[in-house]
Each structure stands twice: as structure tokens, then as C-alpha cells.
């Protein structure tokens, strides 16, 4: 049996109308359904927080690298460092500011060093401590 569109439309409309009336006039039925839904949402919201320990959140890290250049006058040191997992960095060459406590006279281009790096404002990085390997 194939229903014509016209004959199918009327029952469908009345079914929708009945459903609408039931939903609109039945807050006691709709209420628990919404409560369940929001509980599910709360569970979902918690998920990103669980994985929130991103490496980028670290403010200091220990690393190893090779000195490439030193600018004693401006307290700058260019290091080719190995990957720094705490910052999510691959190995790279970069210039950093040396803290006043760091003795730049101890190092020269080619020196292999252990150093600690801290992240400051505006994504600036400072070498807090440095020792030749
Ligand atoms: Cu770097």
C-alpha cells in the first residue's frame, strides 16, 4: 500500500500536534529529561580540565645546549638547545637574556652547557643559571 502525500500529511500533523501538547503541558515529564542532559554536559566539561597539564604551562625548565654567541655587554646569550619538553619546544637556536647571576665570562662559543630557563612576561626567556659541562 502506498499512501499519497495528502493522506499521509494529516495523521503526521496531528501526531506532531499531540506530541507538542504533551511536551508543553507536561513539565514533570520534560524536567527530568533536561536534568539528565545537564548532568551529561557537566561530565563533558570536566574532561578538558583533566588533560589541562599542558607543557606550555611551565614557567621554568632545565635544558642542555651549546653556546653559539655571547653578547656580554647586553647580557645576551645565543644557545642551540636540545628539546625542552616542559615548554613543548624542539631543539633550536635562540637568543636569551642572561640573569645577573650568570657569569658569561665562563662560557664561549662552542661551550656545552646545562642551564635553567625561566619564562617571563611577553614570552621573554631568561637564563637563570648556567654551568659548563
Ligand atoms: Cu628555543
Q: SS in 3 state form for 108-127?
A: CCCCEEEEEEEECHHHCEEE
Give the contacts of 99 (CB within 8 A, at least 6 positions apart).
126, 127, 128, 129
Separation of alpha carbons 119 and 97, rounded Å? 11
Cα of 31 from ligand 1 centre, angstroms: 54
Distance 14 CA to ligand 1 centre (A): 68
Checking if the pLDDT of 69 tops 60, the result is yes
Using the predicted structure, report yes or no on whether residue 44 has a pLDDT greater than 50.
no
Contact 76, 70 (CB under 8 A): yes
Coil, strand or helix at 22: helix
The CATH homologous superfamily for domain 60-132 is Copper binding periplasmic protein CusF (2.40.50.320)
C-alpha torsion sign, points 23, 24, 26, 28: positive
Cell of 49: 580540565
**pLDDT tens digits for range 16-40:** 666 666 666 655 555 555 544 433 3
Query: Which has the closest alpha carbon to 111: 91, 132, 94, 93?
Result: 132
pLDDT, the chain, mean: 77
Contact by Cβ (8 Å): 82, 113: no
- Its pTM surpasses 0.85: no
Residue 101, pLDDT > 90, answer yes
Share of the chain above pLDDT 90, in %: 53
Grid coordinates standing for 43?
561530565
pLDDT of residue 35: 46
**Which three cell numbers, joined as nine digits, stand for 101?**
647571576
> Ligand 1 centroid to 18 CA: how many Å?
66
Instruction: Give 122's pLDDT tier (boundaries 50, 70, 90).
Output: confident
Q: What is the pLDDT of residue 45?
A: 42
Domain ranges of the chain: 1-37, 60-132
**How many angstroms is it from 28 CA to the middle of ligand 1?**
60
Amino acid at each position: 500500500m502506498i499512501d499519497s502525500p495528502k493522506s499521509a500529511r494529516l495523521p503526521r500533523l496531528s501526531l506532531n500536534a499531540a506530541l507538542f501538547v504533551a511536551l508543553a503541558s507536561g513539565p514533570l515529564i520534560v524536567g527530568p529529561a533536561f536534568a539528565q542532559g545537564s548532568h551529561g554536559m557537566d561530565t563533558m566539561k570536566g574532561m578538558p580540565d583533566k588533560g589541562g597539564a599542558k607543557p606550555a604551562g611551565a614557567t621554568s625548565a632545565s635544558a642542555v645546549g651549546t653556546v653559539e654567541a655571547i653578547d656580554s655587554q647586553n647580557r645576551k646569550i645565543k644557545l642551540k638547545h636540545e628539546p625542552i619538553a616542559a615548554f613543548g619546544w624542539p631543539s633550536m637556536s635562540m637568543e636569551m637574556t642572561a640573569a645577573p647571576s650568570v657569569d658569561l665570562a665562563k662560557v664561549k662559543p662552542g661551550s656545552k652547557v646545562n642551564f635553567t630557563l625561566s619564562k617571563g612576561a611577553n614570552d621573554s626567556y631568561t637564563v637563570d643559571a648556567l654551568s659548563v659541562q
